[in-house]
Chain A
Amino acid sequence: MDEYVLDIPVEPPKELRSLFIPIPPEYVEDTYKSDDFLILVGPQHPGSGHMRLIVRVKGDIIQEVIPDPGYVHRSMEKLAENRLYIQNIPLVERPAIMDAPNFNLGYVRAIEEALDIEVPERAKYIRTMLAELGRVGTHLYDAAILAVFIGHTTGFMYPFALRELICEALVRLTGARFTSSFIIPGGVRRDADESTLKWIYDMTLAMERRLKSFERIFINNPTVIARLQDVGVLSKEEAIKYGVVGPFLRASGVEYDVRKVEPYEVYDELVWDMPVSDAGDSYARFLVRVNEIGQSLSIIRQCIKEMPEGRVISEQIAENGNDIRGSFYDSLSNIVLPSGEYTTLTEGARGTIVFSIVSDGESNVPYRLRIVSPGWLYLKGFMESMKGERLADLQAIYGSFGYFPPEADR
């Protein structure tokens, strides 16, 4: 049979500019000519948070994915330059409110490093416990969103029911369900009483028992395994090259966890393992995080058991008494960091959080605050892992990365 060449005049859609689609017309034309399709996923899509993915497919095989982030960019870095150091504490935890303690901790540690503040032991234990509660909560949240993405409603409901326990623990400890702003330079806002710690201890045991049935319902479910296994594979070399972070890096076989590599707070005094997998596929990324939940619950229990008595706020900050309540603004509003740049790494639930404060030595606002959130760091690896997969697997990969645009865009 003869082949006929049809010369169809191709004109790229005129709406590219008016609809804010950030790809050049030549790219669209090239796609038309090479018989590919461009599919716009989002910004309104049934996931958590919003971004647009411009997917180029041949048949239903993904050739290239161009991200269009920034739909939740709330100009945090500029706002931080106009506020006092303590006014920035609530600001920096807004990127990912389910992981607020870790973001909070990273920022506060940068200030403490600059001012050489020694944090009391008890405060360190409370902070570690809080950070791990945030981590468990975020992993459960991501598991639920993964379940929504692959259309498993029970898998959504179950982790969210478990998350209620985490929220309750945070309410008892700090007074807020999500954004506690509990960690402040020099310690924590107030002490945790015995009954709260007892409740949290019991909660971790209850959660462990319920996670077993979640395992039966969702994790070991054959349909889930079929959707996730061998999908979106990132090899070890690729993961390193694209600078993937956190559990997604460990799922590709790199043993890197900031809590082990550069221990902060009391992580080096506690006993815990770093779950690592060599598979690098979506299921491994999910399983690493599920195993981390178990480790985190164990860390929380150890924190409560080994928590020493004593102050919860450094003597350098609160001169009179063990309580900062009532004198919070007077003690902390006027802190000025010495001139220089202070960078801290923190292991958030989704990976490394980089806080870099540049101070000029005279102002009581940061000269520049650079926040690099895990979502922004693994976006490149996330885009690359989708190449060569089928379009129907896009949701599974998206869910397996737990990509949360408010966190990535800041």
Chain B
Amino acid sequence: MDEFIEFVRGGPLGPVKKWGTKWSLWPVHFVTACCGAELAHAFAAGYDGERIGALNYGIARQTNLIIVEGAITRKMARALKITWEQMPDPKFVIVMGACGLQGGIFWNGYHLVKPSDVVPVDFFVPGCPPTPEALLRGIRQLQFKIETGEAKTSATFPEISLEAGRKPRVLPRPPKKISKAPAVIVNAPKEVDWEFGQKLVEELKAKIDAKSVTITGKNRIAIKVESDSITKTAIRLKEMGFDHVKNVNVIDVPNEDKFIVEYHFSSYSVKELMPVIVNVFADIPRDNPKVKSLANMFPSADYMEREMCDFFGVIFEGNPWMGRKFLLAPDAPEFPLRKDFKLEEEVYVR
């Protein structure tokens, strides 16, 4: 068998095989991130990638090219590897977008890996997102490589030596100012001209056993409650016509040793309440972050509660998915959105 493969590759049929491979590149459908929009443009009516013999195809086992479109996450890296392993030889990889190259705008994200660590990459197409022309040029370069065996860049830029500057370099101060002891106030009051809001606040005060009810802006109300009365508050709000949850949010405040859990309620069925967002929030201790889930009453909160459990480790009691990763990869860092999980800092050079 090896002799046969050797014959096909190097014998008199070699050039024919190369020619055939060159004009029949089938990229597998592997839209990993947003660059997929430009990939679709490259193979649609405007740019017509098919004229150079490449057309996307659905099944990995009958394709020979992966175009990685942008960011590869920890979860996706495994899928990329498996897809690559399924493809028959000869196979090629083109990585599209700045995220695939060095991380791009997400370079210090906790959920990102470099595609070149996962699969052998033939060509990179930089850009965020690269234009369809750039992608097609990448495919042309790959064809050139198949034909001649030589990988060439399609664009060269003049090189500038960074050592040219004066010797003792003083690094500029980073522009970021981050408060050492931040005071996080979710319900900062604001004076607004909103008559219906005043009425609504009175109604809410009468119905809900709340610590405070504040108007934080036009159409925005914040209600502070005890953590064990969130469910009770939600029942009252549901009776008033607030029928869905727009947002579940957790804010980590390590210097006060607490999490703030927020539910943003709004309404689709009552016309006056449609623009109103009621933010029900409660403080919970940081060492035992537990709160009753609202997923049964408001199914719209279900996935967001799971997400918050992933990010902060807050347990929503009653949600069946607690303790398992939902959005994050199983090997992702624990509770990455807590403030004590630090990302790599950027360095400013002159």
Where the two chains meet, the residues of A that have a C-beta atom closer than 8 Å to any C-beta of B are 17, 19-20, 22, 43-50, 67, 69-79, 82-84, 90-91, 94-98, 113, 141, 144-145, 156-158, 160-161, 163-164, 167, 177-179, 239-243, 249, 254, 256, 261-262, 333-334, 336, 338-343, 345, 352, 354, 356, 358, 360-365, 367-368, 370, 372, 376-377, 379-380, 384, 406, 409
Query: How far does the alpha carbon of A178 sit from the alpha carbon of B44 in the complex, in Å?
Result: 16
B45 touches A161 (CB 8 A): yes
Task: With both chains docked as a complex, state the minimum distance between the C-beta of B22 and any C-beta of chain A, in angstroms.
Answer: 24
B33 touches A78 (CB 8 A): no
A364 touches B176 (CB 8 A): yes
CB contact between A341 and one of B44, B83, B279 (< 8 Å): that residue: B279
B40 proximity list for chain A (CB < 8 A): 48, 141, 144-145, 160
B71 touches A377 (CB 8 A): no
A47 proximity list for chain B (CB < 8 A): 29, 31
B37 proximity list for chain A (CB < 8 A): 97-98, 141, 178
A74 touches B71 (CB 8 A): yes
Query: How far does the alpha carbon of A39 sit from the alpha carbon of B193 in the complex, in Å?
Result: 55
Query: How far does the alpha carbon of A85 sit from the alpha carbon of B36 in the complex, in Å?
Result: 27
Given A48-B40, A341-B185, A380-B303, 13 other A-B contacts at CB below 8 A? A19-B78, A49-B33, A50-B30, A71-B75, A71-B79, A74-B106, A75-B110, A78-B337, A97-B34, A241-B243, A243-B245, A342-B217, A363-B177
B105 on the interface (CB 8 Å rule)?
yes
A50 touches B245 (CB 8 A): no
Can you list 20 contacts pairing A with B, beta carbon distance less than 8 Å? A67-B303, A70-B328, A74-B71, A74-B99, A78-B341, A94-B105, A144-B40, A167-B41, A178-B38, A243-B301, A249-B268, A341-B187, A341-B216, A343-B277, A343-B279, A345-B277, A368-B252, A380-B302, A380-B303, A406-B33
Task: With both chains docked as a complex, state the minimum distance between the C-beta of B79 and any C-beta of chain A, in angstroms.
Answer: 4
Query: How far does the alpha carbon of A192 sit from the alpha carbon of B302 in the complex, in Å?
Result: 44
B186 on the interface (CB 8 Å rule)?
yes
A354 touches B246 (CB 8 A): yes
Interface size class of B (residues with CB under 8 A): 35 or more
User: Contacts A46-B58, A358-B186, A363-B179; is A74 near B109 (CB within 8 Å)?
Assistant: yes
Query: How far does the alpha carbon of A79 sit from the alpha carbon of B336 in the complex, in Å?
Result: 11
CB contact between B300 and one of A17, A141, A243, A256 (< 8 Å): that residue: A243
Q: Which residue of B lies closest to A164 (CB)?
A: B46
Q: Which residue of A lies closest to B86 (CB)?
A: A44
Q: Which of B324-350 contact A (CB under 8 A)?
A: 324-330, 336-337, 341, 343, 345
B131 on the interface (CB 8 Å rule)?
yes
A73 touches B328 (CB 8 A): yes
Query: How far does the alpha carbon of A262 sit from the alpha carbon of B275 in the complex, in Å?
Result: 6
Task: With both chains docked as a complex, state the minimum distance between the C-beta of B305 and any C-beta of chain A, in angstroms.
Answer: 11
Task: With a 10 A CB-CB cut-off, give which of A50, A157, A178, A256 has the most chain B CB atoms.
Answer: A50
A96 proximity list for chain B (CB < 8 A): 34
Task: With both chains docked as a complex, state the minimum distance between the C-beta of A47 and any C-beta of chain B, in angstroms.
Answer: 7
A45 proximity list for chain B (CB < 8 A): 29, 58
Task: With a 10 A CB-CB cut-off, give which of B31, B109, B304 has the most chain A CB atoms.
Answer: B31
B184 touches A367 (CB 8 A): yes
A70 proximity list for chain B (CB < 8 A): 73, 75, 325-329
B138 on the interface (CB 8 Å rule)?
no
CB contact between A94 and one of B34, B184, B243, B327 (< 8 Å): that residue: B34
B176 proximity list for chain A (CB < 8 A): 82-84, 363-365
User: Contacts A73-B111, A179-B128; is A339 near B183 (CB within 8 Å)?
Assistant: yes
Closest CB pairs A-B (n = 4): A243-B300, A340-B188, A160-B44, A360-B182
Task: With both chains docked as a complex, state the minimum distance between the C-beta of B340 and any C-beta of chain A, in angstroms.
Answer: 12
User: Contacts A240-B268, A368-B251, A372-B246; is A179 near B129 (CB within 8 Å)?
Assistant: yes
Task: With both chains docked as a complex, state the minimum distance between the C-beta of A218 and any C-beta of chain B, in angstroms.
Answer: 14
Q: Which residue of A lies closest to B337 (CB)?
A: A78
A78 touches B274 (CB 8 A): no
B186 touches A341 (CB 8 A): yes
Query: How far does the alpha carbon of A262 sit from the alpha carbon of B196 in the complex, in Å?
Result: 14
Q: Which of B86-111 contact A (CB under 8 A)?
A: 99, 105-106, 108-111
B300 proximity list for chain A (CB < 8 A): 241-243, 377, 380
B237 on the interface (CB 8 Å rule)?
no
Query: How far does the alpha carbon of A379 sit from the alpha carbon of B303 in the complex, in Å?
Result: 8
Task: With both chains docked as a complex, state the minimum distance between the C-beta of A121 and any C-beta of chain B, in angstroms.
Answer: 20
B168 on the interface (CB 8 Å rule)?
no
Task: With both chains docked as a complex, state the minimum distance between the C-beta of B57 and any C-beta of chain A, in angstroms.
Answer: 8
B304 proximity list for chain A (CB < 8 A): 372, 376
B14 on the interface (CB 8 Å rule)?
no
Query: How far does the alpha carbon of A22 sit from the alpha carbon of B303 in the complex, in Å?
Result: 14
User: Contacts A71-B75, A74-B109, A113-B217; is A44 near B30 (CB within 8 Å)?
Assistant: yes
B299 on the interface (CB 8 Å rule)?
yes
A78 touches B343 (CB 8 A): yes
Query: How far does the alpha carbon of A83 sit from the alpha carbon of B275 in the complex, in Å?
Result: 30
User: Contacts A262-B275, A341-B188, A362-B177; is A241 near B299 (CB within 8 Å)?
Assistant: yes
B73 touches A71 (CB 8 A): yes
Map CB proximity to A onto B20-42 as digits: 1 under 8 Å, 0 otherwise.
00000000111111101110110
B282 on the interface (CB 8 Å rule)?
no
Map CB proximity to A onto B69-86 as digits: 1 under 8 Å, 0 otherwise.
001010110110011000
A78 touches B110 (CB 8 A): yes
Task: With a 10 A CB-CB cut-off, give which of A43, A84, A352 has the most chain B CB atoms.
Answer: A43
Query: How far does the alpha carbon of A361 sit from the alpha carbon of B181 in the complex, in Å?
Result: 11
Q: Which residue of B lies closest to A49 (CB)?
A: B31
B111 proximity list for chain A (CB < 8 A): 73-75
B78 touches A367 (CB 8 A): no
A364 proximity list for chain B (CB < 8 A): 175-177
B110 proximity list for chain A (CB < 8 A): 75, 78
B198 on the interface (CB 8 Å rule)?
no
B247 on the interface (CB 8 Å rule)?
yes
Q: Which residue of B lies closest to A249 (CB)?
A: B268
B178 on the interface (CB 8 Å rule)?
yes
B29 proximity list for chain A (CB < 8 A): 44-47
A339 touches B185 (CB 8 A): yes
CB contact between A75 and one of B58, B109, B268, B301 (< 8 Å): that residue: B109
B326 touches A69 (CB 8 A): yes
B125 on the interface (CB 8 Å rule)?
no
B112 on the interface (CB 8 Å rule)?
yes
B135 proximity list for chain A (CB < 8 A): none
User: Contacts A79-B106, A79-B343, A144-B44; is A360 near B32 (CB within 8 Å)?
Assistant: no
Map CB proximity to A onto B259-299 as digits: 1 under 8 Å, 0 otherwise.
00000100011000011010100000000000000000011
B229 on the interface (CB 8 Å rule)?
no
User: Contacts A97-B129, A243-B246, A376-B304; is A50 near B79 (CB within 8 Å)?
Assistant: yes
Query: How far does the alpha carbon of A177 sit from the alpha carbon of B41 in the complex, in Å?
Result: 11
Task: With both chains docked as a complex, state the minimum distance between the C-beta of B173 and any C-beta of chain A, in angstroms.
Answer: 12
